[in-house]
Structure 1
Amino acid sequence: MQDAHYYWNYLPLLLQILAAVALAGGMVAASWLIGRRRNTRAKLDAYECGIPVEGDTRGRFSVGFYMVAMLFILFDVEAVFMLPWAVIYRELPKIAGSRLFGFWEMLVYLGFVAVGIFYVWKKGILDWSQDKGDL
């Protein structure tokens, strides 16, 4: 059986969780009590970037939007891999045995990224000057 004092170590964590829940609940309750609830036509109307809604709001978007979003995620991952590599570059001889090994590994990785960028560029995914339909 564990000592009763062991559980007292978790008291600050429990208090922090209770404070966070109380603060969040208090803010929601205060906004409900203080806030006005007048639902006018203008308030219930969809609003996007100051442009009035025209037609059906459930229209189809060009696949280009989704392609750019996926490419952003793909090439953002590149930075996620390069930053730690740059931080430990001086320590690579201790880790990998040779600094050149880490350099060539990153060069291979950047080669794959360059091939991906070249493919995207040749495919014309980033060219939004004309609508090409579904790519």
Structure 2
Amino acid sequence: MSELVRVAGIRGSVEECLQAAKSQIGLDHYQVRPWTSWHRHIALAVLALAFLAAVAADAAPDRSADPHHPARSRDPITLTVPEIRHLLTAVFQPPAISVARLLHRSTCRRRHQATARRSHYRRRSIDESTG
């Protein structure tokens, strides 16, 4: 019974990973019929997601001991899998913009996301203190 509860508990994270794989690397964009072709597509897609996740984990700084650090920091959020995919796509496509401009846009986008996160945490802490 405890094994069934454990498996049921991780179902949400598995579905979240599948959704990320579908949206980030095109896990569901196959147009093949034979099993061998389907298997190759899925294997390459999962390998691409594993690569992106490893790069994101490697780029993440060490976490602060302060649990409210992200709410107080003015730094941009760490690189995420979608942001790394976006940067790699821009690098390997014919350059429409310079690398410096691309990195500037990435920093601006991540700063905006950090501001949204701070506002969310601030609003959540106000709701918790009044509720």
Greater helix share, 1 or 2? Answer: 2
Fold-level match, TM-score > 0.5? no
In the superposition, the TM-score normalised over structure 1's length comes to 0.30
In the superposition, the TM-score normalised over structure 2's length comes to 0.31
Where relative contact order (Cα < 8 A, 6+ residues apart) is larger, the structure is: 1
Which protein shows a greater Rg? 1
